[in-house]
Amino acid sequence: MVGPAAKREAVAHLQAVMGLSERRACSFIGADRKMIRYRSRRPPETELRGRLRDLANERRRFGYRRLFILLRREGEPSGINRIYRLYREEGLTVRKRRARRRAVGTRAPILLKARPNARWSLDFVHDQFACGRRFRVLNIVDDVTRECLAAIPDTSISGRRVARELTDLISRRGKPDMIVSDHGTEFTSNAILAWSKDHRVEWHYIAPGKPMQNGYVESFNGRMRDELLNESLFFGIDHARSAIAEWREDFNTTRPHSSLGYQTPAAFAEVFTAAGHPVAQPAPYGVTETAEALVAAG
């Protein structure tokens, strides 16, 4: 019995069950009678509570900070402390994940030009349909603007398919200075090695067993799994494509991104391009091998 609400309940219980007076019940509990008699004069805030619940039901993996940003976009003047209080009172707290082990030691970061298309990151994320058949999604992320440039689901994606999708993406957005990936067979295939040489795009491979070196796309994969894949049941490839395309559009244009000051990636890209900063945040540590090195090594 630490808080006032718990002490009020205890005093009421002693009065109802034991037949004690208020004075005697308060002496047993160690509570002040003024505190027991106090009744809150706060307004019920029914509309704000209802809207907060609606947003939390729509965005079931959003915490109070992102819900606060969404409410502010709608013109809600309440501060973040009030939103947090209502968030707790309504029982909307999101279950936290287990903490991950953090790397220790000192490593030199790779500086990155602060502009779109300075570097892209590629990786796969896996899931399955309601029937049990597995499928995979090729995710392509711009490391500076955090935009999801493509999220391509299919039951099988080869190295040639990756090269074809990259060619289509370059025709729409422009060529990146660098692409980072792991040593997956699709990314180390002859098709990708030839593509990077023909298009003169520098392709770097992270160290084996070090996914933290490709941290931007790994973080994106975690958000996709937490907010979409774990929350959805896909009945076929067409259903998966439409749902993933809709979520990708929402991620780029609506979802607040904490590392961008709770801006959306699309809005940040516009402001960032206009600002013209010379150097962006450091890239993940330890990006090592290039496509040319793999070709030379056979």
For the segment 174-218, what is each residue's pLDDT rounded down to a tens digit? Answer: 999 999 999 999 999 999 999 999 999 999 999 988 888 899 999
Res. 274 pLDDT band, cuts 50 70 90: low
Residue 294 has pLDDT above 90, yes or no: no
Mean residue pLDDT across the chain:
87
E strand spans, the chain: 120-128, 134-142, 148-154, 178-181, 202-206, 287-290
Output the CA–CA distances (angstroms, integers) from residue 254 to 60, 101, 189, 214, in the order listed. Answer: 15, 31, 36, 24
What distance in Å separates the CA atoms of residue 63 and residue 251, rounded to the nearest whole number? Answer: 16
Burial of 157 (0-12, 13-18, 19+ CB in 10 A): middle
pLDDT tens digits for 128-178? 999 999 999 999 999 999 999 999 999 999 999 999 999 999 999 999 999
- Decide which of 296 and 215 is more confident: 215
Cα gap 170→173, rounded to integer Å: 5
What is the predicted pLDDT for the residue at 141? 96
Name every residue whose Cβ is closer than 8 Å to that of residue 52 and which is 6 or more positions away in sequence.
67, 71, 83, 86, 87, 90, 92
Specify the pairing of strand 148-154 against strand 134-142: antiparallel
* Percentage of residues in the chain having pLDDT higher than 70: 85
Q: What share of the chain is helix, strand, coil (3-state, %, to 5)?
A: 50, 15, 35
Note the pLDDT of residue 94.
Answer: 86
Residue type, position 2, single letter: V
Instruction: Write out the DSSP string of 36-91.
Output: HH--------HHHHHHHHHHHHHSTT--HHHHHHHHHHTT----HHHHHHHHHHTT
100-107 contact pairs (CB < 8 A, 24+): 103/212, 107/285, 107/286
Most confident of 229-233, 286-290, 292-296: 229-233
pLDDT confidence tier of residue 95, bands split at 50, 70 and 90:
confident
Instruction: Please check the confidence at residue 280 and state whether its pLDDT lies above 70.
Output: no
Residue 84 has pLDDT above 80, yes or no: yes
The reported pLDDT for the residue numbered 136 is 96
Location of structure tokens 């995710």: 139
